[in-house]
Structure 1
Amino acid sequence: MPKRQYEVLPGSHGSRVKIKAHGGAVLRDPRINRGTAFTHEEREKLGLTGLLPSHVTPLEAQLHRSYMRFKNASTPLAKFSYLQGLRERNSVLFYRLLSEHLEEVMPVVYTPTIGEAIKEFSFWFQTIDGVFLSIDRPELVEASLRATEIAPEDLDILIVTDSEGILGIGDQGVGGIQICNGKKSLYTAAAGIDPDRMLSVVLDVGTDNLKLLNDELYLGERHARVRGERYDAFVASFVDAARRVFPNAMIHWEDFGANNAHRLLDTYRGEICTFNDDIQGTAAVVASAILAGVQAKREKLGQQRFVIHGAGTAGIGIADLLVDLLVKEGLTADEARKLFWVTSSRGLVTDDATQRFRDFQRPYARGIGELTDWDLDHPGLYKLADIVRNVRPTVLIGTSGQPDSFAQDIVRDMAAHVERPIIMPLSNPTALAEALPENILEWSHGRALIATGSPFQPVVRDDVTYTIAQANNALVFPGLGLGVAVCNADRVTDSMIAASAEAVASLADARRPGQSLLPSINDLRRVSATVAIAVAKAAEADGVAQEPLTNPVQQVFESMWMPNYPELVFD
């Protein structure tokens, strides 16, 4: 990673910079390179005379050209490749394009296209912004972080993956660095976090992906994924080094496997400023949609009965946050958990001695004795249809990865007992969705309140256009990261996560039929700023903010980097 060739002038928030480079080096630094947008006077002072075509092109014209090239790329992967090259040449232009065409470009720089880019990482590799840490060379961890030449005070967020649970496609080895860069792009486009104040990191602990291990082009360590004590020691060495090198940075854990995600979060959340998007980010955006749905029904959260189909990392994370919100409403934690029924691959999670479950599922295990009077399709088996029939849930959440598991009879049964059921098929991509919105609306006679994991087009039914809310983590994590940076929080508390969910919910109004449970992706800047203010205030209330909040709105606004060419200052 090259040393930065510019200096942001104090108090300018990136709007005024002094360029240290000269000649061709200016064009090789993506943060200061503006290509043909350099004026003739700037070209002369920077030693660029003759190195660019004569015509001076303003940013708006460059944006138009870049957008047309993006549109003309023949495949999603070709579009991704073009955008990656643009980011490596001119970061202002890349983020301006992403910001102004967010709804169209986001599926390319993030899901679903980034999944294909991750699979092809070793084949497509040229250069990439990020740090690769190997479990076979743990003694180099700190030196690798310092090699970035980023000053300790100049980094706000470390986005870290071990690549085991990438986007539903599983173990992808070092290719997982791309998911970190995808999240980095959204932090900037949505919340205005300066891209140079973030760093992507992949923890290369090997891979169990046999296709990668047998690919002569694969760029990661060529051995099976390391687990157990050696894995834990490596993660600990990274955390210790990160605290020394970047003491103010939040560690954002991304796409760790289910066995490690909860455990690492629980291990470090009391020691460092850390956040797991798959657990806490997913939970917050889903909770936001539920809060909006409950408000639309003019009910309280404590009046709901929750069935979560898929008690993995995401599902239990959702349940944990909802319990926090229920406690805030006045219930005890034990009372709140009694409102939940969660399923694993074997059906309802119970305290039956013959059933095995993970530690993080244990608080939601139902007593087998309370099920003796249940009406079951098959004695001794507690499947989703049985749970819905006997519980009569008001909220049905799908994080199972089991397509079509919200079958017609299940949705009709739920809708027969609930006037406005909240139904959320969250598994993605679309092929894994528990049900399609148009079917849910048909089976519920248009009464269901819906949020999905994948994007869906609006559904028209009986002259009503139903906007389908997408429970996209981008509604939460950018604003959370911004809020943490603004107040320099030294922890991410449960109250801060709850505050982010409530902030997003406050921007939705689903009282009228067809209205979305969540704000639009096109409104991410406003959403992220709202979340950041709420998170910073919660951090201050919890005593974890290290910078005073004298004027939260102004402090958040001033902290949001804008993709504009800065004023150049010369000696």
Structure 2
Amino acid sequence: MTAIDPPYLQLDNGEQIPIRVRGYQLLNRPMLNRGTAFTHDERRALGLIGLLPPGYASLEAQVRRVYSQYQEQPTNLAKNVFLTHMRDRNEVLFYRLLAEHLEEMLPIVYTPTIGEAIEQYSQWYSRPRGVYLSIDRPEEMEEALKNYGLGPDEVDIVVVTDSEGILGIGDQGVGGIAITTGKLSVYTAAAGIHPRRCVPVVLDVGTDNLRLLNDENYVGERHARVRGDRYDEFLDLFVKTVARLYPNALLHFEDFAAANAHRLLTQYRDELCTFNDDIQGTASVVLAAVLAAVQRTGGRMRDQRVVVHGAGTAGAGIAEVMRDVMVQEGLSREEANDRFWALGSRGLLVEGNRMRDFQEPFARGADEVAGWASDNGRIGLEEVVRQARPTTLIGTSAQPGSFTEAIVREMHKHAPRPIIMPLSNPTPLSEAKPEDILAWTDGQALIATGSPFAPVVRGTTRYRIAQANNALVFPGLGLGVSVSKASRVTDGMVIAAARAVASLMEDAVAPGDSLLPSVNQLRTVSATVAVAVCRTAEEEGLARADLGDPIQAVIEQMWQPNYARVVLG
């Protein structure tokens, strides 16, 4: 994507694009190239005679061919690489294929396979995609962003990472660019954000990953990760530059480490339209699952007793948004905080012990836990479950198997329909397997997981396991922000997104029904979320667009992966 790519024009009779380049220059533009789908007349007009095989293939025929090639790839990583190369050749075809096989391919272009691709980024590097900003050359930042070729009114989403908290694999240096391109692929496939209105960015501030620093193929800056004032100044310059260059864009922070994620969100969320998916997106989709579960049990959110195992960036964000719903249901903030027992790396959070600022609201009083069993002052999960008698157990700990049989059975003693959500991913980090949880609770547990799991059959019941995939929320939220031109992303919008997702499961009442919609429904889910976000933006006075009918506005803005009508430029 370069500055000379022409703008798409959305007309009443469909999308059209003026094409000014000819010949091989055209075939080398992934948003313009359509390969054998160029008609003979188009080939003659565009200087392509002799540069393509003579046969014509429709977009549908191309999808069948590339899907067959995809199926022949031997591993998930090979499939990821295949799709990446295909996107670099023909972007419309890539998105059409992805849209038609979304449930199958989402784990390939996004979590968990994207983690493998990021680890191997420098080994597989072939073509740059995105904007690479180096902390060693901050004076080049504006030039670099402008070189991407998009103007102030041409950007809806900027996804940025500093690569320190990539999925469950930590610091990956410049390879983190792949998480931003993967995220934007989901924005497009799920919510119809036009691929030409997205900017993926990696902030290369160095890396503490010794494997990368000693790899001769590594393509990032070769020094330790920069921290402190210099890091903050670089981040501040970036945020202010994005706000100036792209005043209507949503700035999406992705995979920043816990030490920075909450801090940066708190610092900038009231200054510009910014969103952290690891905090707000995770919280929203988990809230949606909990709302659906509570609805199924006939209870209320304010009555839940919640244990959060792993109160880091994601876990604390989940607790915060659940607490806000409890407050909406009539509890005071203090009363709502008292419904949570949160565990960090040193066990239960207890007042007076060391913890991060964002964890403090959920710390228990020292007097309250004075008689609880501990190991050198560390109160573990099993003791917390025994004492707190939770109705809901959230796992964001990255501690595989930590939801043991003893813990789950103890919880089930006091919660007839326990809500249990082992959310850590990728799959090997999950706190428990759904089939085990169902066995230990006689099939009564209401489950959502972070990674995809196959359905579990018990007797005559087939349990579909809900995957609390952020893709159910963030694409629609981004679309809603784009359509409404919201000046901020608020807690109200995050909760509205969760309620919108949960509303789609109101008719799911059978014992084995999932708590969340299928990934195959992502376009519908995203549109539903976007409408809810638009309405909330209007209610909160943050919408800068005159929406009229939000449903129509959302549907009109959702890009479809079809070849646009060619207009000679």
TM tier, smaller: over 0.9
Residue 12 of structure 1: CA displacement? 5.4
**What is the aligned partner in structure 2 of residue 511 from structure 1?**
509
Residue 378 of structure 1: CA displacement? 5.7
Question: Is the counterpart of residue 385 in structure 1 residue 395 in structure 2?
Answer: no
**What is the aligned partner in structure 1 of residue 194 from structure 2?**
194
**What is the aligned partner in structure 1 of residue 441 from structure 2?**
444
Is the partner of 2:229 in helix, strand or coil? helix
Cα distance in 1 for partners of 2:206, 2:185 equals 26
AA aligned to 1:414 is M
* Stretch moving more, 392-401 or 71-80: 71-80
**What is the aligned partner in structure 1 of residue 57 from structure 2?**
57
Alignment of 1:297-336 (within 5 A): 297-336=297-336
* Stretch moving more, 105-114 or 222-231: 105-114
Over the aligned positions, Cα root-mean-square deviation in angstroms equals: 1.3
AA aligned to 2:429 is L
AA aligned to 2:437 is I
Is the partner of 1:127 in helix, strand or coil? coil
Unaligned residue ranges in structure 1 (runs of 5+): none
Unaligned residue ranges in structure 2 (runs of 5+): none
**What is the aligned partner in structure 1 of residue 556 from structure 2?**
558
Alignment of 1:457-496 (within 5 A): 457-496=454-493
Residue 373 of structure 1: CA displacement? 4.9
**What is the aligned partner in structure 1 of residue 90 from structure 2?**
90
Residue 520 of structure 1: CA displacement? 0.4
Is the partner of 1:569 in helix, strand or coil? strand
Cα distance in 1 for partners of 2:78, 2:411 equals 44
**What is the aligned partner in structure 2 of residue 131 from structure 1?**
131
**What is the aligned partner in structure 2 of residue 371 from structure 1?**
369
Is the partner of 2:437 in helix, strand or coil? helix
Cα distance in 2 for partners of 1:109, 1:5 equals 25
Q: Is the 8 A contact 1:250 1:275 kept in 2?
A: yes
**What is the aligned partner in structure 2 of residue 338 from structure 1?**
338
Cα distance in 1 for partners of 2:255, 2:73 equals 29
AA aligned to 2:447 is I
Cα distance in 1 for partners of 2:306, 2:57 equals 56
AA aligned to 2:555 is F
**What is the aligned partner in structure 1 of residue 394 from structure 2?**
397
Q: Is the 8 A contact 1:110 1:183 kept in 2?
A: yes
Question: Is the counterpart of residue 289 in structure 1 residue 289 in structure 2?
Answer: yes
Q: Deviations along 1:160-196, whole A, 9 cap, x unmatched? A: 0000000110100000000000001100010010011
Residue 379 of structure 1: CA displacement? 8.4
AA aligned to 2:552 is Q
Q: Is the 8 A contact 2:168 2:425 kept in 1?
A: yes
**What is the aligned partner in structure 1 of residue 142 from structure 2?**
142
Cα distance in 2 for partners of 1:185, 1:381 equals 43
Is the partner of 1:15 in helix, strand or coil? strand
**What is the aligned partner in structure 2 of residue 248 from structure 1?**
248
Q: Deviations along 1:425-451, whole A, 9 cap, x unmatched? A: 011111111111011001001100000
**What is the aligned partner in structure 2 of residue 523 from structure 1?**
521
Cα separation, partners in 2 of 1:246 and 1:377, compared to 1, 3 Å: closer
Cα distance in 2 for partners of 1:82, 1:381 equals 47
Cα distance in 2 for partners of 1:13, 1:384 equals 60
TM-score (norm 2): 0.98
Q: Is the 8 A contact 1:451 1:470 kept in 2?
A: yes
Cα separation, partners in 2 of 1:54 and 1:161, compared to 1, 3 Å: same
Is the partner of 2:132 in helix, strand or coil? strand
Cα distance in 1 for partners of 2:4, 2:253 equals 26
Q: Deviations along 1:308-355, whole A, 9 cap, x unmatched? A: 00110000000111111111112121111110000012211010x3x2
Cα distance in 1 for partners of 2:7, 2:344 equals 53
Is the partner of 2:255 in helix, strand or coil? coil
Q: Deviations along 1:16-51, whole A, 9 cap, x unmatched? A: 111121222111111111000000111111111111
Q: How many residues align?
A: 568
Q: Is the 8 A contact 1:537 1:549 kept in 2?
A: no
Cα separation, partners in 2 of 1:13 and 1:31, compared to 1, 3 Å: farther
Cα separation, partners in 2 of 1:379 and 1:13, compared to 1, 3 Å: farther
Cα distance in 1 for partners of 2:378, 2:430 equals 24
Q: Is the 8 A contact 1:7 1:19 kept in 2?
A: no
Q: Is the 8 A contact 1:99 1:189 kept in 2?
A: yes
* Stretch moving more, 281-290 or 140-149: 140-149
Alignment of 1:178-257 (within 5 A): 178-257=178-257
Is the partner of 2:241 in helix, strand or coil? helix
Cα distance in 2 for partners of 1:380, 1:175 equals 40
**What is the aligned partner in structure 1 of residue 22 from structure 2?**
22
**What is the aligned partner in structure 2 of residue 534 from structure 1?**
532
* Stretch moving more, 73-82 or 164-173: 73-82
Cα separation, partners in 2 of 1:379 and 1:217, compared to 1, 3 Å: closer
Cα distance in 2 for partners of 1:120, 1:405 equals 29
> % of aligned pairs identical?
58
Q: Is the 8 A contact 2:80 2:114 kept in 1?
A: yes
Is the partner of 2:568 in helix, strand or coil? coil
Q: Is the 8 A contact 2:30 2:89 kept in 1?
A: yes
Cα separation, partners in 2 of 1:228 and 1:377, compared to 1, 3 Å: closer
Cα separation, partners in 2 of 1:378 and 1:224, compared to 1, 3 Å: closer
Cα separation, partners in 2 of 1:365 and 1:377, compared to 1, 3 Å: closer
Is the partner of 2:133 in helix, strand or coil? strand
Q: Is the 8 A contact 2:131 2:201 kept in 1?
A: yes
Alignment of 1:7-86 (within 5 A): 7-9=7-9, 11=11, 15-86=15-86
